[in-house]
Structure 1
Amino acid sequence: MSKAASTRSSPRSGAALPPAGAGRLVDSLAPLLHEWLPRQRWFAGKGRPITGFSAVAATELMPPDASGPGPGLLHLLVRVEQRSTPDPDAGPVPVAPTDDCYQLLIGVRSALPPQLAAARIGPVHEGPLAGRVVYEALHDPRLADLLLEQLRSPGALGPLRFDRAVEIPAGLTPRLLGAEQSNSSLVYGEKYILKILRRVFPGANPDLELPLALARQGSERVPSPVAWFEAVGADVGGGAGPQSLTLGVLQPFLRDSEDGWQLALRALADGREFTDEARALGQATAEVHVALADALPTVTLGPHQTANLAEAMSGRLDATAQAVPALLPYVGGLRTAFDALARSGSAPRESDGAEAGGAPVTRAQRVHGDLHLGQTLRTPDGEWSLIDFEGEPARPLTERRRPQPAVRDVAGMLRSFDYAARTHRPWNPGWAERSRSAFCDGYADATGTDPREDAALLRAYETDKAVYEVLYEARNRPDWLPVPMAAIHRLAGHRP
């Protein structure tokens, strides 16, 4: 990751623990983590027994006071070992499992004040923190402020490296966002928002990589990173060796903006159409795609690559049907979408052009990867922004960073309009269809290419997204499972 020109070294008050000390610390916390981690919204290993923990790195951002009440702040990278099960996201043939690495920010006190009771992890009975209470540090304003101070003064502390692109003012009051999400976010002074990545992977995270690339292109559709921090030389296992890990990104907080999901739900509640907003959002999405294609390499997918893409989708369908039996009756109908995509790779398509010899191609580029209404913000003057470029957290980072057809993002947004309509009572399918059409119209206005022209590719990606939603809801929000299952019913060709 390239560093900002303003980065400079600065003294740090904390220290990195040596490997032996980090191991003893994590061992002493293991009984508490066994109980606490599976209850966290961002923990991806739900349903699989935890078999152990190992320390990747441990850093004292504020050393715990051995004689006083505290607080102390510990930054931990912990590898969580779990019994493996076949993973539908791994493709048609499950690969050898790798343990997940999580970023933990642990507060340490002799006793918790009442206002931090909800952040409690538990008392430590042995090891270097024996007799202390540990808790989720992001709930503590004093410790959250310390984290921002690290970003204000770029430099390194053990394996941690803090970088910034612009000056950051001091004295910004922190607050933890309580919204349900796969990471954690702090808002500072209603001016900046810091996303703390929880499940971390070796390599550049697209939630930093892509906004930085868009900033270089001068794109105003995505908030530009203000500061970020990484772990350098961390070995999370799996044979990859020491690498850098993106840990957090600070961006402007668009405090007067509203997210697209809430806007859509309000329109439904008020009995209003959403077509004007959807068309403008389609234009904004297209502008981001154009900027990404200009900023980063693009590739073409020939017949062989298209067939592989369809095969991977079909494999995810089979694996998901095994994990969610409600999907089994629809497998045959859903597979026709992927078969059609595979066949389209050997039939000429005017919209995509052709390789030498007449073989059709599909253009692929870097994309958002998890685009839906909740990943968009609209300002009071009607301008749309796209946020959260991390991609689908359940998919491997290498896949999320791979160039893909831009229609994948379009399919994600089309599914989101359907989600909104399905959550409203009574269900309004016409509202969803008109919003979907307006979004595609806006996209075509900005690019000159209508994503509906490649019907096989769009249907395949929408089907693949619905299958992903079924697995996600079954694992995390079973009450929501009927929403994607309604789309499964339609996409499989069943009559309403």
Structure 2
Amino acid sequence: MSEAASARSRLTADRAALLNGIGPLEPMLRTWLPAQRWFAGKGRAIGTLRAVSAAELLPPGSVPGLLHLLLDVDGDCYQLLLGIRPSLPPALAHTLIGQAEEGPYAGRAVYEGLGDPRLAALLLERLRSPGALGPLRFERDPQAPVPAGLTPRPLSGEQTNSSLIYGDSYILKVFRRVGPGVNPDLELPRALAAAGCGRVPAPVAWYEAQLPGSEPLTLGVLQPYLRGSDDGWQLALRRLGAGEDFTAEAHALGRATAEVHSALAAALPTVALGPEQTARLAAGMTARLAATAREVAALRPYEAGLRGAFDALAASRGAGVPAQRIHGDLHLGQTLRTLDGSWSLIDFEGEPARPLADRRRPEPAVRDIAGILRSFDYAARSHRPFAPAWADACRAAFCEGYARTTGRDPREDLVLLRAYETDKAVYEARYESRHRPDWLHVPMAAIRRLSEPQRPAHRVPPTPPAPGSVSPRSQPRQKPPRRPLA
């Protein structure tokens, strides 16, 4: 056997050994993982750590090397792309994970591969050329060719995933915490593109893992990068800071959101939640309230008043609450105003902390509306002095814009709207208490308001759909506000 063949044989055996406990990489990964922003297990020691998949994306012995790992960390599956070099150049020093002392990478530096432009460029080349590599499958829309040689750069500020921008033309989202089944951030934009909805960038390439006895796991999605677009959250803050009106933008965003909901309802199955399902929905909200009250002391004086919103939902026993596929984590930070002044929605992954199966279930569209409305409130309360009139005007404009497309104002569904707004505010209180105590006052202001007895609702006049618009097949009901919690 030649020396090269012998080396390849040893590497193959050592990679197989990785699947039995990570081997020599385990100590460094146990230290490195809890420090990553996207790692969900912060604050507790790692127990189980084992590889469920290992694949070299370059021939053995390549410098640099690129090792793709799927790790089981205490029951959660994480995706890692590890670079391997004899030594790291100074420009990559910040990506170092550790120095391997034994095994196939003995004496070599192991580092975060997405931080290496050469390896990031390789990932794009894999996406440009569909095919299989071990358990990995690379796919591309044949109608959307991707040019070669685009310069990669990481997108900063992310918390739950990692993204790379290529040549200011495309953005690749690499999912860190993954599970069996199609990720909604691939599934829903593809469905919207097929339906002709231009409000969401259409995926041009993606990759997944096929593991024995499991549905494919979506690992990454490449989409057009909307260069020069304004992040909705930052745009709102700038307008607030300048003392400028934002209602025209809020109205347009309401119409864009309604268009996406209408397209999703037409393209994918819808259901009607009957009395039993509605009661279970209310029971889940009540349970989350009780759990949060145990954790967040400031919430406890308002628990009984807040529970009234969920009791009202359970008692409504309506003829059926329409449910459909939705964004699932919509707030101003998930919206972009493009250079032509139109709005796009992005990041259809849903709340990453929820199981993937839950994120793929139909839900009332009011949940998305509640996210945007709470986001206006967050923006207003981040401003000094607090600008309640600004938030109220934006909330009204958004609902009116939504109604211009669907013919139904979200504020007409008061019981459902109030329940979802309350549930969102409770979620926010728990999040802020855990991660940003200085922000706890924002959801607490909403909680105090929502805990008060409900006054009779002011009747919102029906708004006819805009000319040429299409009402959704089973348009769900809707509810109030929130801001980017990410």
1:136-187 CA deviation, whole Å, 9 max, x = no partner? 1111100000000000000000110000002111010000011233111100
Check conservation: 1:24, 1:127, Cα contact below 8 A. Answer: no
Q: In the alignment, which residue of structure 1 is the partner of 2:167?
A: 189
In 1: Cα distance, 2:320 partner to 2:14 partner:
52
Give secondary structure in 1 for the equivalent of 2:203.
coil
Q: 2:42 aligns with which of 46, 57, 62?
A: 46
Check conservation: 1:46, 1:475, Cα contact below 8 A. Answer: no
Give me the identity figure in percent: 67
Aligned length: 442
In 1: Cα distance, 2:226 partner to 2:209 partner:
28
In 2: Cα distance, 1:324 partner to 1:225 partner:
40
1:194-218 CA deviation, whole Å, 9 max, x = no partner? 0000100111110000001001101
Q: In the alignment, which residue of structure 2 is the partner of 1:243?
A: 215
Q: Which moved more, 1:241-250 or 1:473-482?
A: 473-482
With over 3 angstroms needed to count, the CA separation of the structure-2 counterparts of 1:19 and 1:128, relative to structure 1, is: closer
Q: 1:417 aligns with which of 370, 376, 379?
A: 376
Q: In the alignment, which residue of structure 1 is the partner of 2:189?
A: 211
In 2: Cα distance, 1:250 partner to 1:162 partner:
11
1:28 aligns with 2:27: no
With over 3 angstroms needed to count, the CA separation of the structure-2 counterparts of 1:186 and 1:307, relative to structure 1, is: same
In 2: Cα distance, 1:297 partner to 1:16 partner:
45
Q: Which moved more, 1:200-209 or 1:23-32?
A: 23-32
Q: CA deviation at 1:52?
A: 2.4
Q: CA deviation at 1:19?
A: 7.4
Q: In the alignment, which residue of structure 1 is the partner of 2:253?
A: 281
> 1:185 corresponds to which letter in structure 2?
S
TM-score by length of 2: 0.88
Q: In the alignment, which residue of structure 2 is the partner of 1:80?
A: 73
Q: In the alignment, which residue of structure 1 is the partner of 2:158?
A: 180
> 1:65 corresponds to which letter in structure 2?
G
Check conservation: 2:20, 2:50, Cα contact below 8 A. Answer: no
Check conservation: 2:313, 2:415, Cα contact below 8 A. Answer: yes
With over 3 angstroms needed to count, the CA separation of the structure-2 counterparts of 1:325 and 1:20, relative to structure 1, is: farther
Give secondary structure in 1 for the equivalent of 2:350.
coil
The aligned runs of 1:103-182 (5 Å cut-off) are 103-165=79-141, 166-182=144-160
With over 3 angstroms needed to count, the CA separation of the structure-2 counterparts of 1:494 and 1:303, relative to structure 1, is: closer
Q: CA deviation at 1:134?
A: 1.1
Q: In the alignment, which residue of structure 1 is the partner of 2:476?
A: none
Q: CA deviation at 1:467?
A: 1.7
TM-score by length of 1: 0.86
In 2: Cα distance, 1:213 partner to 1:284 partner:
16
In 1: Cα distance, 2:101 partner to 2:385 partner:
54
Q: CA deviation at 1:74?
A: 0.8
1:230 aligns with 2:230: no
In 2: Cα distance, 1:437 partner to 1:249 partner:
35
1:357-405 CA deviation, whole Å, 9 max, x = no partner? xxx1110000000000010011122100000000011111111100011
Check conservation: 1:75, 1:106, Cα contact below 8 A. Answer: yes
Give secondary structure in 2 for the equivalent of 1:47.
coil
In 2: Cα distance, 1:245 partner to 1:217 partner:
24
Which 4+ residue blocks in structure 1 deviate beyond 4 angstroms?
A: 15-19
Give secondary structure in 2 for the equivalent of 1:493.
coil
Give secondary structure in 2 for the equivalent of 1:203.
coil
Q: In the alignment, which residue of structure 2 is the partner of 1:263?
A: 235
Give secondary structure in 2 for the equivalent of 1:229.
strand
Give secondary structure in 2 for the equivalent of 1:46.
coil
Structure 2 unaligned residues grouped into runs of 5+: 1-10, 455-486
1:218-251 CA deviation, whole Å, 9 max, x = no partner? 10000000000000125xxxxxx42210000000
In 1: Cα distance, 2:245 partner to 2:180 partner:
44
Give secondary structure in 2 for the equivalent of 1:45.
coil
> 1:386 corresponds to which letter in structure 2?
L
Q: In the alignment, which residue of structure 1 is the partner of 2:315?
A: 343
Q: In the alignment, which residue of structure 1 is the partner of 2:468?
A: none
Check conservation: 1:103, 1:198, Cα contact below 8 A. Answer: yes
In 1: Cα distance, 2:440 partner to 2:132 partner:
45
Give secondary structure in 2 for the equivalent of 1:488.
helix
Q: 1:469 aligns with which of 419, 428, 432?
A: 428
1:403-422 CA deviation, whole Å, 9 max, x = no partner? 01111100010011111111
In 2: Cα distance, 1:124 partner to 1:489 partner:
54
Q: CA deviation at 1:335?
A: 1.0
Q: In the alignment, which residue of structure 1 is the partner of 2:458?
A: none
In 1: Cα distance, 2:241 partner to 2:433 partner:
27
With over 3 angstroms needed to count, the CA separation of the structure-2 counterparts of 1:475 and 1:106, relative to structure 1, is: farther
In 2: Cα distance, 1:65 partner to 1:479 partner:
50
1:316 aligns with 2:312: no
> 1:453 corresponds to which letter in structure 2?
E
> 1:306 corresponds to which letter in structure 2?
T
Check conservation: 2:172, 2:222, Cα contact below 8 A. Answer: yes
Q: Which moved more, 1:23-32 or 1:160-169?
A: 23-32
Give secondary structure in 1 for the equivalent of 2:105.
coil
Q: In the alignment, which residue of structure 2 is the partner of 1:306?
A: 278
In 2: Cα distance, 1:423 partner to 1:157 partner:
48
Check conservation: 2:14, 2:103, Cα contact below 8 A. Answer: no
Give secondary structure in 2 for the equivalent of 1:233.
coil
> 2:175 corresponds to which letter in structure 1?
L
1:401 aligns with 2:360: yes
Q: CA deviation at 1:462?
A: 1.1
Q: 1:426 aligns with which of 357, 374, 385?
A: 385
Q: In the alignment, which residue of structure 1 is the partner of 2:57?
A: 61
Q: Which moved more, 1:463-472 or 1:290-299?
A: 463-472
1:370 aligns with 2:346: no
Check conservation: 2:302, 2:448, Cα contact below 8 A. Answer: yes
With over 3 angstroms needed to count, the CA separation of the structure-2 counterparts of 1:25 and 1:312, relative to structure 1, is: closer
Check conservation: 1:206, 1:389, Cα contact below 8 A. Answer: yes
In 1: Cα distance, 2:268 partner to 2:91 partner:
47
Check conservation: 2:205, 2:221, Cα contact below 8 A. Answer: yes
